[in-house]
Amino acid sequence: MILLRNLGFSRNGNALVEGASLQLHPGWKVGLTGANGCGKSSFLALLRGELHADRGDLERPPGWVIAHVAQDTPALPDAALEFVLDGDIELRQIERDLRAAEQHHDDLHAGEQIGLLHMRLSEIDGYAAPARAAALLHGLGFTDADFRRPVAEFSGGWRVRLNLARALMCRSDLLLLDEPTNHLDLDAILWLETWLKSYAGTLIVISHDRDFLDGVTSHIVHLENRRMQLFTGNYSACERARAERLANDLAMAEKQRREAAHLQIYIDRFRAKASKARQAQSRIKMLERMGEIAAAHVDTPFTFRFPEPAAFSDPLLLLDRAKVGYGKALILDNVSLSLRPDSRIGLLGRNGAGKSTLMKLLAGQLAPLAGTREEGRNLKLGYFAQHQLEQLRPEETPLWHMIRLEKSLGKSTREQDLRNYLGGFDFRGEMVDTPCGRFSGGEKTRLALALLIRTAPNLLLLDEPTNHLDLEMREALTLALQETEAGMVLVSHDRHLLRATCDELWLVADGRVVPFSGDLDDYAGWLAEQRAADKSGAKPAPRAASGEAVASPKNPALATRRPPLQKDLDKLEAQLAEGQAELESLATRLADPALYVTPDSPLLHTLSQRQAQLAAQLAEAETCWLALVEQIETLE
């Protein structure tokens, strides 16, 4: 077992935990929770032997194999499948020993060694290792074609998935995971949950995804006020226990009563107007459950609400038979969607299905290739996506960003009022005047959300707004979204947020956007069916699309002019696809907070310059593409 006796540890001279004593038994699946900076990651470093205790003891079985996800992945030439197989260290050592022994196969001793190595290989099921590695990669969203690709070709987020697969490949006794769902879509998260449930070893996981913790963990260790407290049960059980404890504090008890009464009024109002749709009924159940555990969050550092929008239109935004894509590469076809002030839509779909593309279309950042996008007269959009973190000026402070926003809105607000507003997002004291280039990903996300909410939008378009946010901030955002009068379209892998804030779900799949009649549990079943179809090789029936080859013209003279134009068009489309891929790769690299530690670094300048150059080249290429399409159409 893992045994803590009066354990104390610190980081950079700051005491994180003092006097911790508890036992973690083999086979337990433990969730590690607590506010950012309380010592969760430091405890994992302690278990890995990378950090030493200040006092007390931390004991674990000396022969245990420990697996964890590496923080960095160099640009290796190794194929993805081979990189994952390297996670099984003993397997790789046996393979090396076999190769060495087989070079001396005439030696009697070598022959005996080869036999022993093959026996051990069989014992660890080494012959099936490539199949196990392939299953891990499939589960995390990789295709068969990705297996042979060099690690260096993958973007940062996909390299994180490769590191995760490599850690899962290790036949470990103790598995340490720090925010494993951060770079995963919902499909991959559901797969990972299932895999971890069947993991035979001891698991210690840090996560800010409450549904993930509820689905995987058997115990919770909560870090608070330099103490580590062990709870039996999953995260929801821990919340209930904490609520009971906080209720014993008289000052907290009164605040609990106020919050519970406030939330009950909202629940009653929503129940009266909710539809009978499966997702709307799921939302009622989630709201009732949140009322039960609201007491556990009365000590939250986050206190904010969405301001009431000044005006509405009905509809706010209308898409009619819209097509969207990049060049001739059609992503979504025949999209019709009417967003009203009371719309509360969650978008579902597998990775790469086009959810973010649809959000860009709704936000007006992509124009429809066909069909119409019509804005209501009083539309005021609030669009959040990860790339907007790049718009924060790293050398400027949260207060500076707020003052600039207020001026752009034509407002003159007292500085103290702006400081108070930022305090609701836990920017207090020196943080308000700290350049945001030093902030973590979660702190930048909080600041971007604070700026968006301040504009009082009447239609929210939120693309993964909870990335990097801790559990308390996620809960505060969930409560605020429940109460806003604004319409909303949400893309998120946070199932708690989807369940608590969305009345209807739409599915983005096979180039279409259609209502999904079930709830998130039904969606999990749909995903399982899709994975089974992928595994069996079954393919959906092909659909007609405008991007398919056009029939040859009946006039033979015109037909001879078409092939060279079509060849140029195909070549141009390949260039556009390649350029878009590079542009996305640049955006990923420019989203790395480490790049802005030194704002005037040559690399930052080079990447920004290449991004601007590439965007101009793509715009010119798209103009040429349109001209070629027009020429081909005249031949029909």
Query: Which of the two residues, 368 and 609, has the higher pLDDT score?
Result: 368
Instruction: Identify whether 172 is part of a domain.
Output: no
Half-sphere exposure of 245 (CA within 13 A, CB side): 11
Same-domain status, 425 and 344: yes
Domain co-membership, 205 together with 258: no
CB burial of residue 14 (10 Å; 0-12, 13-18, 19+) = exposed
Residues 418 and 565 in one domain: no
Q: End of a domain among 247, 263, 294?
A: 294
* Domain identity same for 363 and 487: yes
| Per-residue pLDDT band at 563 (split at 50, 70, 90) | low
B/e letters for 77-112, b = 16+ CB within 10 Å, e = fewer, are eeebbbbbbebbeebeebbebbeebeeeeeeeeeee
DSSP state of 253: H
φ and ψ at 66, to 5 degrees? -110, 130
Same-domain pairing of 35 and 184: yes
453 in the same domain as 429: yes
Tell whether 513 is covered by a domain: yes
Rounded CA-CA distance 281/471 in Å is 24
- Tell me if 9 is assigned to some domain: yes
DSSP-assigned letter for residue 316 = S
**Within-domain flag for 85:** no
Show the domain range for 331: 317-530
Q: Percentage of residues in the chain with pLDDT exceeding 90?
A: 47
- Which helix (H) or strand (E) element contains residue 17? strand 14-24
Tell me which of 234, 252, 273 is where a domain ends: 234
In this model, does residue 553 exceed pLDDT 60? no
Q: Which position has the higher pLDDT, 627 or 357?
A: 357
The alpha carbon of residue 130 and the mean position of all alpha carbons in its chain are separated, in whole angstroms, by 28
Residue 67 has pLDDT above 90, yes or no: yes
Question: How does residue 290 score in pLDDT terms, banded at 50, 70 and 90?
Answer: low
| Residue 103 reports pLDDT greater than 90 | no
Same domain for 211 and 327? no
The total domain count for the chain is 4
Cα separation of 469 and 492, whole Å? 12
With a CB cutoff of 8 Å and minimum separation 6, the contacts of 101 are 110, 113, 114, 117
Place of tokens 């983005």: 508
Q: Determine which of 206-220, 250-264, 500-514 has the lowest per-residue pLDDT on average.
A: 250-264
Cβ–Cβ < 8 Å for 498, 520 = yes
- Two tokens at 261? 């009464």
Q: Which residues contact 230 (CB under 8 A, 6 or more apart)?
A: 22, 24, 219, 220, 221
Does residue 440 form part of some domain?
A: yes
> Taking residues 140-156, what's their average pLDDT?
90
**CATH code for the domain of 401:** 3.40.50.300
Say if 142 falls within a structural domain.
Answer: no
- Site of tokens 């901030």: 473
Residue 602 domain-assigned? Answer: yes
Residues 6+ apart with CB under 8 A from 440: 36, 468, 593
In a domain, 86, yes or no: no
Half-sphere exposure of 380 (CA within 13 A, CB side): 17
Whether residue 228 is found in the same domain as residue 261: no
Residues 580 and 448 in one domain: no
Average pLDDT over residues 275-294: 57
Q: How far apart are CA 512 and CA 622, in angstroms?
A: 24
Q: Are residues 260 and 363 in the same domain?
A: no
Q: Are 456 and 430 in contact (CB under 8 A)?
A: no
pLDDT higher for 483 or 622?
483
Q: Which of 294, 309, 342 is the last residue of a domain?
A: 294
- Angstrom CA distances, 587 to 7, 157, 289, 354, 466, stand at 43, 12, 39, 17, 19
Same domain, 195 and 255: no
* 584 pLDDT higher than 70: no
pLDDT confidence band for 30 (50 / 70 / 90): very high
CB 297 within 8 A of CB 472: yes
**Alpha-carbon separation of residue 571 from 328, 516, 558, 568, 576 (angstroms):** 12, 38, 21, 5, 9
Task: Give yes or no: residues 566 and 615 share one domain.
Answer: yes
Both tokens assigned to 591: 């989203």
pLDDT tens-digit series, residues 342-386: 899 999 998 888 999 999 999 999 999 999 999 999 999 999 988
Q: Report the percent of the chain where pLDDT is more than 70.
A: 79
